[in-house]
Amino acid sequence: MRVAIYPGTFDPVHHGHVDIARRAAALVDRLIIAVYSRPLKTLLFSTEERVLMVKEAIAGLDNIEVASYNGLTVDYATKVGASFIVRGLRVISDFELEYQMALTNRKLAAHIDMVCLMTSLEYAFLSSSIVKEVAMAGGCVEQMVPSHVSRALESRLGEMGEGKGDEVGLISLRD
Ligand code: ADP
């Protein structure tokens, strides 16, 4: 059985992620979307919230599961019996990072390979940071994320109130 994991932070999941997951799932028997619990970045959503949002985003795609993990991605892949790690590429800078990660992972676990899928053109601009920044500035994210994620963003930002997002790393569409 061909098993792959698609790891990431998914804070929050957006259409670009779903597109990669859908396409990767067509290549394997079982795809596990692996939500990284404690990345080295400030998060807007908890692990449980991110997992639930991804689950809802891929509902109906039967060979995809969602789980959270900590520690080394290759260790998690080994634990679940995956032979591939799927990643998505948007721009050259993604490639540089993924290339370094792939070579590091190869050193750590030579039995696991990385498979990178190119973004679909309509999602090439899309990242979780961009989604958060647009939402925080009061913009509409309906074309970027599933509707349940759009509602979750609205409610989380409402709870945070004034100064929202000051502690979340953003790119900056406002300056
Ligand atoms: P990271 O894990 O780097 O924090 P994410 O969790 O946002 O980033 O993304 C997980 C994976 O999905 C990464 O491989 C990332 O390159 C890929 N990805 C994110 N956005 C897109 C997009 N718009 N198109 C294709 N791949 C994407």
d(CA 126, CA 128): 7
- Domain with 157 in it: 3-167
As for how many domains the chain has, the answer is 1
d(CA 134, CA 74): 33
Tokens of 4: 């792959």
d(CA 175, CA 155): 25
The reply to whether 158 falls in a domain is yes
Query: Does residue 49 register a pLDDT over 70?
Result: yes
Around ligand 1, the residues with Cβ closer than 6 Å are: 8-10, 16-17, 20, 87-88, 90, 94, 119, 123, 126-128
The reply to whether 36 falls in a domain is yes
- How far does the centroid of ligand 1 lie from the alpha carbon of residue 133, in Å? 16
- How far does the centroid of ligand 1 lie from the alpha carbon of residue 126, in Å? 9
* pLDDT on residue 171: 52
Atom of ligand 1 at shortest range from CA of 15:
23
The reply to whether 175 falls in a domain is no
Range 5-21 average pLDDT: 97
Least trusted range by pLDDT, from 39-48, 56-65, 133-142? 39-48
Q: Which residues pair with 118 in a beta bridge?
A: 89
Within a 13 Å sphere around the CA of 58, how many CA atoms are in the beta-carbon half? 29
Distance, CA of 100 to chain centre:
18
List the CATH number of the domain containing 36.
3.40.50.620
Given strand 84-89, what is the order of strands in its sheet?
64-69, 30-36, 3-8, 84-89, 113-118
* pLDDT on residue 175: 43
The reply to whether 172 falls in a domain is no
User: Across all residues in the chain, what is the average pLDDT?
Assistant: 92
